[in-house]
Amino acid sequence: MDFQYFMPVKIVCGRDCVQKNAQLWAGMGKKCLIVTGKSSAKNGSLADVCGALSANGQAWQIYDDIPQNPTVACVREGGRLARSFGADFIAAIGGGSPMDAAKAIAMLARQEDGGDIFAYKSTGDVLPMVHIPTTAGTGSEVTPYAILTNDEKQTKTSISAPAFFPKIAFLDGKYMRCLPQKTTVYTAIDAMSHAMEGMLSVRAGALSDALAKAALSVLHKETGALAAGRYTNEDRDALLYAATLAGMVIANTGTSPVHSMGYSLTYFHGAPHGRANGLLLPEFFAVCEEKSPARAKEILSAAGYASHKELAAALAPLLGEREAISRDTLRTYAKKASVNKNIKNCSVFFGEEDLFRVLVRSVGKAE
């Protein structure tokens, strides 16, 4: 049995774990730049982080201007703030956007040269980070990836480096108690997509598959809560746990053409990332069933479904009315996705025509 696995993040999970483990913050440095959105001030996560830092006598500055899809401009500003403040480390609080932005900021705090950020070669000279996820989907707290809006190429582009792994991740489901229903649903679908796509990666192995199947099992048990929109504290904890497991999968496997196609739906149509993935997953697996039936069946079964049609039926009420996009536009998106690096990462080959078929059957407008 041959495989490799690497995930150097210390995970601390449990109710009130941020403040109960304030001593873990002490070793990170004297000055912290907190990278977050606006919601952390409302869900208690920002107060808990500030309380832990205060208990250690550490100074902090807050940068809370991170948009839903972080831009190059916002991370450059964050890097400037980190340098001017003399930050020793970064604390990222929020969903995927603040956590991804924090990784780029941690790099720019040390490596700013005004060039193309997507062409940067990380030297490993990156500020250390602590991540506190407040949504259950992205898994960025345990990955080496940062996804940023790339306006030049009109898409979202990832940058990655081993140094982007946070040092510590604190998992506390209480920060998700006030999440809107759509955010809860779309982030859960994102986690499911990560686990399923990870199993299709050419880099998938026994350990990543085990993590993926564990994540999918937990997520399937939460289907009823997601459909009803009613969550216990245990449901929130389970969703966060599953998202972290799925993040641990893609940390080593990467993602698939689903992400490649979904970026256009997000960039041009404003579809939240998890929603974009959910729209595409069933028809994506329809193609996988044709080209690699045994592996597709294994993955779908792990998620709790006998076929892509059952997956589609389960996701349909969660997604609601679909975006309707012209065939000509989808042809452009298929062409754009066909040159994405995720295509070669998938054990099932998707050519441009395969991508176009998935897009048309997922969001195509009748003409």
Asked if residue 1 belongs to a domain, the reply is: no
Asked if residue 36 belongs to a domain, the reply is: yes
pLDDT tens figures, 15-58: 999 999 999 999 999 999 999 998 888 999 999 999 999 999 99
Mean pLDDT value across the chain? 95
The last residue of a domain, from among 175, 201, 226: 175
The last residue of a domain, from among 110, 141, 175: 175
Together in a domain, 77 and 42 = yes
Q: What is the pLDDT of residue 3?
A: 80
Asked if residue 133 belongs to a domain, the reply is: yes
Give 160's strand partners. Answer: 145
Give the tokens for residue 93.
């609080």
Asked if residue 235 belongs to a domain, the reply is: yes
Q: Answer yes or no: is pLDDT of 221 > 90.
A: yes
Together in a domain, 88 and 49 = yes
| CATH number of the domain to which 20 belongs | 3.40.50.1970
Together in a domain, 203 and 233 = yes
pTM: 0.96
Query: What percent of the chain stands above pLDDT 90?
Result: 91
Q: Answer yes or no: is pLDDT of 367 > 70.
A: no
Together in a domain, 96 and 227 = no
pLDDT band at 115 (very low <50, low <70, confident <90, very high): confident
Please state the rounded mean pLDDT for residues 58-68. 96
Together in a domain, 157 and 253 = no
Together in a domain, 150 and 239 = no
Together in a domain, 147 and 196 = no
Number of domains in the chain: 2
Please state the rounded mean pLDDT for residues 186-211. 97
Query: What percent of the chain stands above pLDDT 70?
Result: 99
The last residue of a domain, from among 146, 175, 204: 175
Asked if residue 3 belongs to a domain, the reply is: no
Asked if residue 5 belongs to a domain, the reply is: no
Give 171's strand partners. Answer: 13
Asked if residue 2 belongs to a domain, the reply is: no
Together in a domain, 86 and 216 = no
Q: What is the pLDDT of residue 360?
A: 98
Strands 145-150 and 129-133, how do they pair?
unpaired
pLDDT band at 366 (very low <50, low <70, confident <90, very high): low
Together in a domain, 38 and 142 = yes
Together in a domain, 167 and 185 = no
Lowest mean pLDDT among 84-98, 99-113, 320-334, 344-358: 99-113
Together in a domain, 51 and 138 = yes
The residue range of the domain holding 134 is 10-175
pLDDT band at 263 (very low <50, low <70, confident <90, very high): very high
Q: How many residues does the chain have?
A: 367
Together in a domain, 63 and 208 = no
Q: Answer yes or no: is pLDDT of 220 > 80.
A: yes
Asked if residue 209 belongs to a domain, the reply is: yes
Q: What is the pLDDT of residue 124?
A: 85
Q: Answer yes or no: is pLDDT of 195 > 90.
A: yes
